[in-house]
Structure 1
Amino acid sequence: MYLVKKLSLLLLPLSLVACSSAPPQNPENICDIFFEYRDWYSASKDMNERWGTPIHVPMAMMYQESSFRHDAAPPMEYFWFIPIGRVSDAYGYAQARDAAWGDYQRESGNSWSSRDDFSDAIDFMGWYTNKTHKINGVSKWDAYNQYLNYHEGWTGYKKKTYNQKAWLINVSKKVDSRSKRYATQLKGCQENLDSSWLWRIFFA
């Protein structure tokens, strides 16, 4: 029994590492992303069905926010050479902040969610884009204005704070361009992905 416990403790770190997904090898192509991580496609389909946000929009936003790194975090601030904390509490695939994540957990019922879990992160982004549509009337297909809301918050977007940030306008244009590119790519492989997804449900 003692040896079993010791072995379990030794294997635990390995199991935790195994649960973490490395960034996709070709993040520029959404088909390659989903063929590499088929569970990501299943999670994205679930997000779309739950919140009505097209898959390519939050995927383009996630690329911009974290480059699909599960443990992404803002840079550290320093006092001379002493680290004093990060510039914000954003974390994970979606770079969600503590307050927004708490609202999501409470409103969605997903209280056990984790920001470094892709399924939870993409669902969070679906929830956020859905609220952006309700609060500010932005189409769920409009990656440009959805990203401005995501970055500035709903109140900031109403106040048009982004007009003071030329760099953010440029980034939002990049997100919009990538979203459109992802949409075109997905059209070419979605039938294949769907057939594989359904096959795994019934026969895996």
Structure 2
Amino acid sequence: MSRFLFVLFGVLLLASCGGGSKQPPSRLNDACSIAREKPDYIKAFQRTERKWGVPVHVQMATIYQESRYKHDARTPHRYVLGVIPMGRQSSAYGYSQALDGTWKEYQRETGKRRAKRDRIRDASDFIGWYMNKSYERNGIHPTDTRNQYLAYHEGHTGYARGSYNRKSWLLNVAGDVDARAQMYQTQLAGCRY
């Protein structure tokens, strides 16, 4: 009987450790730590960079801003009279906070019908696809983190119209994303993972 309990305890211990893979990295201000803790993230980012030309540090800064690396991130609920829930602010979901319609467009255009917003390799590929479109449609170079983020947030048409110019808060956020991308780039250049 004690052998049975020992095996059961071991199985339960292993099962409890298995769920941590979806947890965000523990040190979000350290790109090297993220790379060591989540090697599958870096592999996904590198694959996207090779495919779409969007640098790893730009992807990392975008995901940080959008979801803080939470696989199931969602926008907050809206409330009527402060207490009655009326649904979420938008359909944004996952690492990349892709909207339902944009995600479906990505799936259709890339043929990735089984892609999921809460899977890092798909979210990374989505960001590469979207930022490549920003380059094609609006001439924003993939290394231009600030303007890539503005187009990512406002959409290609909104960016072309300059809608972000009326949103000082968004301009500040885009500056923060750019600064984080530069920080990640510097860190990644000096670390082994």
Superposed displacement of residue 110, structure 1? 1.3
Tell me, in whole angstroms, the C-alpha distance in 2 between the residues paired with 1:66 and 1:131.
21
The aligned counterpart of 1:162 is 164
Residue 29 of structure 1 corresponds to which residue in structure 2? 30
Q: 2:101 aligned with 1:74, yes or no?
A: no
Q: CA deviation at 1:20?
A: 5.0
TM-score, length basis structure 2: 0.88
The one-letter code matched in structure 2 to 1:169 is L
2:146 paired residue number? 144
Residue 43 of structure 1: aligned partner: 44
Taking the aligned partners of 1:148 and 1:87, their CA distance within structure 2 comes to 19
Residue type of the partner of 2:39? R
Counterpart pick for 2:98 among 96, 99, 119: 96
Q: Give the secondary-structure state (helix, strand or coil) at the position aligned to 1:163.
A: helix
Q: 1:20 touches 1:70 (CA, 8 Å); kept in 2?
A: no
Does the 8 Å CA contact 1:93/1:118 hold for their aligned counterparts?
yes
Closer/same/farther in 2, CA of residues 146 and 48 from structure 1, 3 Å limit: same
Matches for 1:50-199 after TM superposition, within 5 Å: 50-80=51-81, 81-189=83-191, 192-193=192-193
For residues 135 and 18 of structure 1, the distance between their equivalents in structure 2, rounded to whole angstroms, comes to 40
- The alpha-carbon deviation at position 18 of structure 1 amounts to 2.4
Task: State the 1:78 CA deviation.
Answer: 1.1
Which ranges of structure 2 fall in alignment gaps of 5 or more residues?
1-11
* Cα distance change, pair 108–19 in 1 and its aligned pair in 2 (3 A): farther
Distance in 2 between residues matched to 1:186 and 1:109, nearest whole Å: 32
Shift of 1:24: 0.6
Decide which moves more: 40-49 or 164-173: 40-49
Paired residue secondary structure (1:85): strand
Question: What are structure 1's unaligned runs of at least 5 residues?
Answer: 1-10, 194-204
**Structure 1 vs Structure 2 CA RMSD:** 1.5
CA distance in 2, matches of 1:154, 1:19: 36
User: Which amino acid is 1:38 matched to?
Assistant: P
Deviation at 1:19, TM superposition (A): 7.4
- TM-score normalised by structure 1 residue count: 0.84
